[in-house]
Amino acid sequence: MKIIISTNLLAIVAVFPILVALISMVGLRWGAAKAMTLAWLTCALAAIFVWHLPALYVSALSLQGIISAMSVLIIVFGALLILHTLQYSGAMETIQYGMQSISKDMRIQAIIIGYMFSAFIEGAAGFGTPAALTAPLILALGFPPLAAAILCLTLNSFPVTFGAVGTPMITGFGASLQSLIEQAVAHGTFSSSAHCLEVIGRAVALMHIPMIFFLPIFTLGLITRYFGPNRSWKEGFAAWKFCIFSAVAFTVPFLLIAWFMGPEMPSMIGGLIGLSIIVFGAKHGFCVPKTVWTFGEVFKWEKDWSGEVVFDDNSELKPQMSQFMAWMPYILIGIILVLTRIDALPLKEIFNRYGVIAFSDILGYKGVNESSLKLLYLPGIIPFTLIAVLTIFMHSIPMRKVVKAWMETLSKMKTAAISLCASVALVKIFQGSGNFTHPDLIAQLAAEGVDTNILSMPRAMAEAIGGVVGPLWPMVASYVGGLGSLITGSNTVSNILFGQFQWDMAELQNISRIVILAAQGTGGAMGNMVCIHNIVAVCAVLGLSNREGDILKKTFWPFLLYGISTGLMAYIFIAMGYAVF
C-alpha cells in the first residue's frame, strides 16, 4: 500500500542525499568518490521507496547520469592534458616568468587569470570549462593547489549567468518559461520573447554589480588569511584598489552589452576588454599595491595545501620560448571556443550536428534520452585535446615527454570518474523523480503504478522553502537558484528546474516576476561556487583527491554573502518599482 505524504515530508526526504554528501565530505572528510557514491545510493533508495519509482527507471536515470558525466570527464581530461603538455614543453615555466614581468604580486596574478581570463572563458564556453582551464594555469604560477581551487571556483560566479554565449538565460529561462512568456507577449507586456529575456538579463546584470566589486576583494582576503605566510585578511584587502579598477574594467562593457545587445555576450566581451585593460594597468603599476605579496617559501606551506602536486621553488625561472609561443595554445583555445559558440557562425551548427553519440529511451523508458555525447562540441576534445596535440609540433616536444604527459593525465582520471559518475547519476534521479512532462513517459510510469503528479525532489524542496519564508521570498529566491546549481552543476539546468516555480512564487507574493527571475539567474551563477561536481572536477585537475570538503567549507561563505547581496538588491528593485511585471 502506497502512502501519500506531504510536500514538507517529501522535501525532508529529498534533502537527505545532499546532507549525506555534505556530512561525508565536510564533517567526516571523506573523498568525493566515497561520499557521492553513498549520496547516490541514498537518493536511489528514496526514489524507490518514497517516490515509488520502479527500480529499473531509477537505473535508467543513473545510466543517463553516467553518460552525462562522460562529457565532464572529457573536459577534465582535456584540461589535464593541456596542463601536462605545457609543463613538459616548458611553456608553463615561460608563462610564469612572463607573468612576473607583468607583476610578481600573486594577488594581481589571481585577478588577471582567476577573475578576468576566467570570465572570458566562461562567456565563450561555460559548463565547467573556466575552472578546469584556469585552475591549472593558476597552479603553474606557483599558487598552492588548494588556494587555486578556491580562487577559481569563487571568482567564476558572476560571469556564469551569461556564460556559454548566454545559454543559462536563453535556454534555461526560454525552456522553462516559454508558454508564460508567450502569454505576456500576447498581452503586450513585451514585444517578443527575446525582449522578455533581454529585460531579465538587464536586471540580472545590475543584481550582480555589488558582488562584482566586493567578491574579488573578499576572495583575496580569504586566500591571504588561510594560505598567506602571515595568515592575514588585511594583506588580501590591501589590493582593493586593483580589484576596484578590475571591476570597473569588466563592469562597463558587461553592462553595456547586457543592456543594448542581449544576454549572449556580456561575460565574454566584459572579460576580454577587462583583461586587456588590467594587464596594461598592471604593467604600468596602476592601482598595484606597493608591497609585493606571495605565498612565501614552499617548504613553509602546510602539507595539505598541495595534494598530489610536488613543488620546487629552488630553481630559477627561465623562459624556454617566446611569450607569444608559450601563450599560443591558450590563444588558439580562446579563438576556437568563440568561433564554435556563436550562433551566427556555421561551426556551432556543424559541431552540434556531427560526431554525436545519442542514447535514446535508456532501458526502454521513453524520454530518458537527453544524454548524448557531442564529441566535436565538447571543449575537452575541441579545442583542448586538439590543441594539446598541435602543441607537440608547435613546441617541438620530444616523444618521451609526450608519452609522460598522456600517462600522467590518464592516471589522474580514475578517482574523478567515480566521483563524477556518482554525482551526475544523483542529479538525474533528482531531476527525473517527478514533475514529468514527456507524455509517453507519463503513460508508461502510470501503467507501472507511479503517481505521475508527484513533485520532483528539487521542486519539493523549493516549495517547502517557499511555504516557510512567505513574504521574505526576495531574500531567499537566489538561494533556490543556488540550490539548483549545487544539485545539477549548471546555471542553465537550475533555471529550467526553477524558472516557472520562481514566476509562480512572484505572482503568489504579488511582486515583480522580472526581479525574482533575475534573483534566480543570479543565484544559479553563485551556486557555481558550491556545486559538488564542479568541485570534484577542479580537484581532479589539481590533484586534490579527498579535499572536496575542505574546499566546500571555504566557498560556502562567499556563496552565503552573494545571496545576501542579491536579496537586498531584489528588495531595492521592488521598492523602486523596477521592472514591475
Instruction: Answer yes or no: are the C-beta atoms of 221 and 167 closer than 8 Å.
Output: no
pLDDT at 1: 46
User: How does residue 358 score in pLDDT terms, banded at 50, 70 and 90?
Assistant: confident
Tens digit of each residue's pLDDT (9 = 90 or more) over 508-530: 888 899 999 999 999 999 999 99
Cell numbers representing residue 219 in the block: 576572495
User: How does residue 65 score in pLDDT terms, banded at 50, 70 and 90?
Assistant: confident
Residue of 126, 202, 111 whose CA lies nearest to 489? 126
pLDDT at 127: 67
Give residue limits of the domains in the chain: 7-62+429-575
Which is more confident, 91 or 177?
Answer: 91
For range 142-164, the mean pLDDT? 91
Residue of 64, 20, 17, 200 whose CA lies nearest to 578? 200
Which is more confident, 410 or 251?
Answer: 251
pLDDT at 309: 59
Instruction: Answer yes or no: are the C-beta atoms of 499 and 177 closer than 8 Å.
Output: yes
pLDDT at 107: 96
Q: How far apart are CA 556 and CA 565, in angstroms?
A: 14
Q: Which of 416-420, 455-459, 560-564 has the lowest mean pLDDT?
A: 416-420
Q: How far apart are CA 529 and CA 47, in angstroms?
A: 27
At 260, phi and psi to the nearest 5?
Answer: -110, -15
Chain-centre distance of CA 467, in angstroms?
29
Instruction: Please give, one letter per residue, the 3-state secondary structure of 341-407.
Output: CCCCCHHHHHHHHCCEEECCCHHHCCCCCCCEEECCCCCHHHHHHHHHHHHHHHCCCCHHHHHHHHH
Q: Which of 115-129, 253-267, 289-303 has the lowest mean pLDDT?
A: 115-129
Instruction: Answer yes or no: are the C-beta atoms of 457 and 430 closer than 8 Å.
Output: yes
For range 543-566, the mean pLDDT? 91
Q: How many beta carbons lie within 10 A of that of residue 199, not counting itself?
A: 17
- pTM of the predicted model, to two decimals? 0.80
Peptide bond before residue 383 is cis, with ω within 30 degrees of 0: yes
